[in-house]
């Protein structure tokens, strides 16, 4: 998980609070996800939002053409606000943090499972179900095959990491032997 700037987290919280107060969380959330997908799909758009060198009136015209009438009015005001503060480059980070806040509100917890061998979707689903029952939340796991773990796996959910890989065990054994 990439660390986000404090400013992006504050802006995301402010937008989330405004959307909750106006009872438009679903619409705003959908638009923020759409904006993030657009930024991922278009290197030109990503470069545009990160570039503050264009004149303000030209940037305003481009933003109006891209977003006005296509996103919820709250999101449109928010985009214009970010532009006025020269913080539009944080839009992707803000969207990611907004999504995290929305998932937390819905009781969703994301995690990753790295395994030395392939993990089937049913096995990952079963593990996610057990973890969800243990923590009282809906857990969604992304899986990745990592042969360098040698055996076992590494589970990260939230800020907790459980490393039960063979490579970690061997590393701990080596440290113990070196310590005497």
pLDDT of residue 2: 63
As its CATH architecture, domain 6-104 has Orthogonal Bundle (1.10)
Which pLDDT belongs to residue 135? 86
- Encoding tokens for residue 78? 């928010």
Kindly report, residue by residue over 35-68, the tens digit of the pLDDT.
999 999 999 999 999 888 888 899 999 999 999 9
Its pTM stands at: 0.74
92-109 burial code (b ≥16 CB/10 A, e <16): bbbbbbbbbbbbeeeeeb
Partners of residue 108 on adjacent β-strands: 138
pLDDT score of 54: 85
Which pLDDT value is given to residue 180?
Answer: 74
pLDDT value of position 19: 96
pLDDT single digits (tens) 83-129: 999 999 999 999 999 999 999 899 999 999 999 999 999 999 999 99
Residue ranges per domain, the chain? 6-104, 107-179
Give the end-to-end CA distance of the chain in Å, rounded to a whole number. 36
Mean pLDDT of 133-141: 90
């Amino acid at each position: 998980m990439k660390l986000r700037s404090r400013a992006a987290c504050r802006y995301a919280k402010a937008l989330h609070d405004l959307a909750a107060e106006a009872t438009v969380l679903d619409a705003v959330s959908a638009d923020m996800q759409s904006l993030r997908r657009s930024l991922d799909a278009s290197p030109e758009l990503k470069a545009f939002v990160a570039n503050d060198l264009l004149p303000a009136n030209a940037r305003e015209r481009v933003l109006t053409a891209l977003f006005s009438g296509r996103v919820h009015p709250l999101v449109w005001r928010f985009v214009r606000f970010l532009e006025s503060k020269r913080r539009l480059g944080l839009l992707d980070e803000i969207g990611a943090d907004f999504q995290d806040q929305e998932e937390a509100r819905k009781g969703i917890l994301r995690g990753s499972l790295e395994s030395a061998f392939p993990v089937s979707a049913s096995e990952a689903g079963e593990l996610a179900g057990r973890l969800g029952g243990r923590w009282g939340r809906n857990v969604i796991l992304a899986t990745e095959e990592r042969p360098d773990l040698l055996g076992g796996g590494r589970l990260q959910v939230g800020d907790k990491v459980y490393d039960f890989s063979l490579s970690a065990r061997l590393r701990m054994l080596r440290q113990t032997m070196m310590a005497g």
